[in-house]
Structure 1
Amino acid sequence: MPSNDSPAPLAATIRHSNELGKLVRQLRVEQGLLQIDLAGLAGTGNRFIVDLERGKPTLQLQKVLDVLDLMGLEVVVRRKDGNRHGQ
């Protein structure tokens, strides 16, 4: 029986809003939350969470970042390996 209650580290490369939406949905379900629960915790409307999980590309960035932070996620921006423009 494992004694470690912390979740496994998560690393994902996200290139499209629908990929981020799928990840948010997966983690929300793993955390046992309904969309309305997450919306309440995040101080946003249920429609925002629905749109986020569907990958709507025009959502307000700060609200998305706030929801990710609430879910224990952070955004890290880095250069693509071997794919630099101008070389």
Structure 2
Amino acid sequence: MLRTAADIGQVVRAQRQSQGLRQIDLAGIGNTGNRLIVDIEKGKPTVQLQKVLDVLELLGLEVTVRSKASRSAL
């Protein structure tokens, strides 16, 4: 479960590294600046959502949104 921009950044970094890509490589594949990749991986909260989704797509990742499970009262 991802709750913060930093959580997404960690997933992006791990996936990029597992594919043997450097940040500059991913930026080149995505036809974007290296700064975007750095910002995403650092968990910068102001990165544009569409750009993050594009990078996730490049890495073969997808986002699923679902309702939170009901929690029983204590």
Class of the TM-score when normalised by the shorter of the 2 chains: over 0.9
- Select the structure of larger CA radius of gyration: 1
Identity %: 61
Using structure 2 for the length normalisation, give the TM-score.
Answer: 0.92
Report deviation, 1:80. Answer: 0.6
Residue 6 of structure 1: aligned partner: none
Q: Deviations over 1:48-80 (max 9, x none)?
A: 000000000000111110110010011111001
Unmatched tracts of structure 1, length 5 or more:
1-12
Report deviation, 1:30. Answer: 0.5
Using structure 1 for the length normalisation, give the TM-score.
Answer: 0.79
1:31 aligns with 2:19: yes
> Stretches of 4+ moved more than 6 A in 1?
none
Residue 16 of structure 1: aligned partner: 4
1:73 aligns with 2:61: yes
Matched pairs, number: 71
